[in-house]
Amino acid sequence: MTPAPAVPLEVAEYLHGLVLGERPIAWLAVDSAQILVAAGGALAAHGLDAVQRGRPAPEQLWFLEGLLPPAASPFRLQHVQTTDGRAADLHLFVAGDRVWVVLIDSATERDAAQRVQQKAYDMTLLSEREARLISELEAANLELKRTYEALEESNQRLARELEEAANYVRSILPPPVAGRTLTADWLFIPSTELGGDSFGYHWIDTEHLALYVVDVSGHGVGAALLSAAVANTLRAEALPNTDFRAPAEVLGTLNQIYQMEEQNNLFFTIWYGVFHKRTRVLSYASAGHPPALLVPDGARSAAEIKPLRSTEPVLGALAGIKFVQHEWTVPRRSRLFLITDGAFEIIKSDGSMLELDEFVELLVESAPSGKAELDRLVGVLRSLHGPGPLDDDLSIIRFAL
């Protein structure tokens, strides 16, 4: 092995000065009784200028507590810092019965290492925080997804139940009739929500035909249930002590039974009529409902169409109302239309609402040919409304009497 070349004295002195200038060094010697026996070098640079020889070392030099005698020789600790901000590499080695303690200033290296480490730890903490936030976000998203799926399932179940309810409402509507004495057709378009329209017609006896249409306030299952209940009551003629041939009496009894306080605050409008086949007299009463529209054969203007109206308030809101019964003789080959307000309270594409008078005009224009007339009517109404579902149930019942 080639021996290391000798360093010229000038070079050695230069290096010695350079190292000591940049990294001040202090040294201390401690005997076997841990008494400080020697101290020298740049003691002030290390804050050790007040140390006293002949006194216990750990008492003056805290950093030596527990380090004497050293676990190994040499023993080195890097960047030992005191509260005044100084930093030193600490070297302990044993020589004879003494432990030498050498402190080499490391403040510059400590500061450089601290800057790098600070940056690295800041980045690590940031990415840890980011990972935690992402994890929390993912958990929140998962929870949201589960909630959405549960909601979706609930909505689908609700939609199925609404569909079943709508099917029931439709199932209790009477079938169209095409007879010699009576022709009846109808058109029923429920709104997107389940609505409160219902209607019916049936022979009370061989002479008297009952005709009725009901519209419960609001939408939804509650309105549909009440509407179906009222229609079933009328169809089954299930009102006590009531002559179903007497419309005012029928409405009076209905009003007693279906007071809104007992019907979840729902009230309804109704038009109820009885057509006497032999005399052709139509008796009717109404509670807050749009008029039935009687169109004589060959009517050429709206003025010829007879609105069969009454002015009593809605049914179920006030107890003890006396309903007025009206009568009107129906000319042969007339058409009679029972409607709900959804048939004419249609928002037109220009934002205005169709009026009843405008609806009446449509009846003048309609060709009197049964179901085709209803199809044409609804086509016109839909074109007036524009695309999208109607806002309310639409019911039109057409009789040819």
Tell me if 78 contacts other proteins by CB under 8 A: yes
The C-alpha atoms of residue 377 and residue 343 are separated, in whole angstroms, by 10
The C-alpha atoms of residue 215 and residue 224 are separated, in whole angstroms, by 9
| Residues in region 210-229 near other proteins by CB under 8 A | none
Which residue is listed with tokens 């007992």?
262
The C-alpha atoms of residue 318 and residue 256 are separated, in whole angstroms, by 9
| Closer of 44 and 77 to other proteins (Cβ) | 77
* Residue of 27, 63, 93, 328 that binds other proteins (CB under 8 A): 63
Tell me if 82 contacts other proteins by CB under 8 A: yes
Stretch that binds other proteins, among 82-90, 139-147, 269-277, 347-355 (CB under 8 A): 82-90
The full DSSP string for 162-197 is HHHHHHHHHHTSPPPEE-SS-EEEEEEE--SS---E
CB of 79 to other proteins, least distance (A): 2
The count of residues interacting with other proteins (CB under 8 A) is 33
Report which secondary-structure segment, H or E, holds 380.
helix 371-385
| Closer of 43 and 354 to other proteins (Cβ) | 43
Stretch that binds other proteins, among 61-69, 198-206, 220-228, 323-331 (CB under 8 A): 61-69
Tell me if 56 contacts other proteins by CB under 8 A: yes
* Per-residue tokens: 331: 């000319």
Tell me if 124 contacts other proteins by CB under 8 A: yes
| Closer of 122 and 161 to other proteins (Cβ) | 122
* Per-residue tokens: 277: 């086949």
Residues with Cβ within 8 Å of residue 327, at least 6 apart in sequence: 281, 282, 283, 284
Of the candidates 156, 160, 226, 162, the one whose C-alpha atom is nearest the C-alpha of residue 198 is 226
Q: One symbol per residue from 229 to 268: x for binding other proteins (CB under 8 A), - otherwise; what is it?
A: ----------------------------------------
| Closer of 81 and 155 to other proteins (Cβ) | 81
Q: Is 129 left (phi over 0), alpha (psi -120 to 50) or beta?
A: alpha
| Residues in region 83-122 near other proteins by CB under 8 A | 83, 87, 106, 110, 113-114, 117-118, 120-122
Tell me if 71 contacts other proteins by CB under 8 A: yes
| Closer of 119 and 146 to other proteins (Cβ) | 119
* Residue of 125, 139, 238, 372 that binds other proteins (CB under 8 A): 125
Tell me if 59 contacts other proteins by CB under 8 A: yes
- HSE, CB side, 13 Å, CA atoms: give it for residue 42: 15
Tell me if 33 contacts other proteins by CB under 8 A: no
Tell me if 75 contacts other proteins by CB under 8 A: yes
Residues with Cβ within 8 Å of residue 311, at least 6 apart in sequence: 324
- HSE, CB side, 13 Å, CA atoms: give it for residue 342: 29
CB of 31 to other proteins, least distance (A): 17
* Per-residue tokens: 242: 């009531």
* Residue of 53, 132, 160, 333 that binds other proteins (CB under 8 A): 132
Residue 94 burial (CB < 10 Å; 0-12/13-18/19+)?
Answer: middle
Which positions touch other proteins (CB under 8 A)?
Answer: 56, 58-59, 62-63, 65-68, 71, 75-83, 87, 106, 110, 113-114, 117-118, 120-122, 124-125, 128, 132
